[in-house]
Amino acid sequence: MTEPRGRRLLVGAIAAFALVFGGTVITLRYQEPVVSAGGTAVVPHARPVPPRADGDARMAAVEALLERRAAAVRDRDRAGFIATVDAGQSAFRAAQGRLFDALASVPFAVWSYEADFAGPARRVPSPDRYSGAETYSPSVVVLHYRLAGYDDRPGTTRQYLTFVRHGKSWFLGSDSDFERANVHTVREIWDFGPVVTVQGRRSLVLGHPTDKELLRRLSAEADRDVPRVTDVWGTGWPQRVVIVVPASQTELARILDRPSASLSRIAAVATADVTDGRGLVPAAANRIVVNPRNVAQLGPLGRRIVVTHEMTHVATRSTTTSHAPTWLVEGFADYVAYASSGIPTAVSAHELKEDVDSGRLPVTLPTDADFSGTSRRLPQAYEGAWLACRLIARRAGEAGLLRFYRTVAAASATDADVRLATALRTVLDSTPASFEAAWRSYLRSELG
């Protein structure tokens, strides 16, 4: 599912493997998102403003400090990086040293900062901890980074930083002063300790040293799954993927910017930075983020289905707007994931089969609300969506399903219903009501 910050955590069940799927999450980096009916959240970029012409020395000093930090990362200059941190904050200074060390194995092509001086400065909640020194916190600082060979555009991470003045010099004092106000610096995998990378032919997997064997298995799986996605979707996507493996569910929640969430039912989520109102500007920082505990318990076929499902979201991201119906987005991802899997339909859709066997045939196609993490019919929503896409492919061929998806997924808010009706008419010679009736009949024939 396509949602902001993992707000909807989706489960798709397969009885033979007890698989748990995460939905697609759009991670938003600057402010609380505006969420469309289709679920995709879109947020504008911060608008950094250079120091004012009247010579605001504080802004100029902070901007220069951020550039020194970025240059130190790019130049692998540990001493220069630590020199930007307030020496009076010993614990934070030590943590920043560990952060710098964790970046060593990550192949960055871009690392830079932008401070938003246009918004109101934040009031530092505990200035006394800085021993009376002058403090300053811009509205937000945005880290831009790009992974060499994998990111076409830089991803972004919002940070809420406190800067401290000693004499004529400014230093970084904290990145967590505002957490009690529920204003969190977004964390990445390198904020949680040493990072190792495993690079395959088409994959880059980032995690921690203790999980290196899982990283290898995921890299090998991703390399095998890229051609599977391409065989269905075509070559019009980067055909490479970045997978992030946190060490725990707590770490997973922080990376997804949901620190208080329970993610025990998630196996993986696909994330990206989306900045275009229709969702058609290429997303940045496409990632698959896994729950290590659940993924580690999967067998080879289970890993294949989970990774292929999420990889399909990565492949279709630039084609799928915020107004695409969730049943189509999730159903298509499952269609690709289950292709040639050999899993019987009665197993893949066993919750829905139980309903059909009990006479509880769905009345309508799954709604967006049915894909909410709190929905009692979440497994049935996934299964029904998958079978809807399989029905389209059966009636119009796989090429017809692709044509249907591309037509409907590109919808804007004002033409979503029109595009759905158009696709049904041109691809299936049908109407919304007729297709829904055909889908219900298909469920009876496949699951009854």
pLDDT-derived band at 273, boundaries 50, 70, 90: confident
Q: Strands of 274-412 (E only): list them.
A: 284-290
CA nearest neighbour of 401 among 321, 339, 322: 339
Cβ neighbours around 112 below 10 Å, total: 17
What is the enclosing helix (H) or strand (E) of 393?
helix 378-409
Q: pLDDT for 397-425, tens place per residue?
A: 999 999 999 999 988 888 989 999 999 99
Of 21-25, 76-80, 420-424, give the lowest mean pLDDT range: 21-25
What does the alpha-carbon distance between residue 145 and residue 195 come to, in Å, rounded to a whole number?
Answer: 16
What does the alpha-carbon distance between residue 36 and residue 302 come to, in Å, rounded to a whole number?
Answer: 32
**C-alpha separations of 5 from 61, 85, 274 in Å:** 33, 30, 12
User: Which contacts of 441-445 are long-range, i.e. CB under 8 A and separated by 24 or more positions?
Assistant: 442/387, 442/391, 443/352, 443/356, 443/361, 443/362, 443/384, 443/387, 444/356, 444/361
Which residues does 291 contact at the CB level (< 8 Å), separation at least 6? 20, 22, 246, 249, 252, 263, 264, 266, 267, 268
Cβ neighbours around 360 below 10 Å, total: 12
pLDDT of 371 higher than 90: no
What does the alpha-carbon distance between residue 288 and residue 241 come to, in Å, rounded to a whole number?
Answer: 8
What is the enclosing helix (H) or strand (E) of 172?
strand 169-174
What pTM value is reported for the model? Answer: 0.86
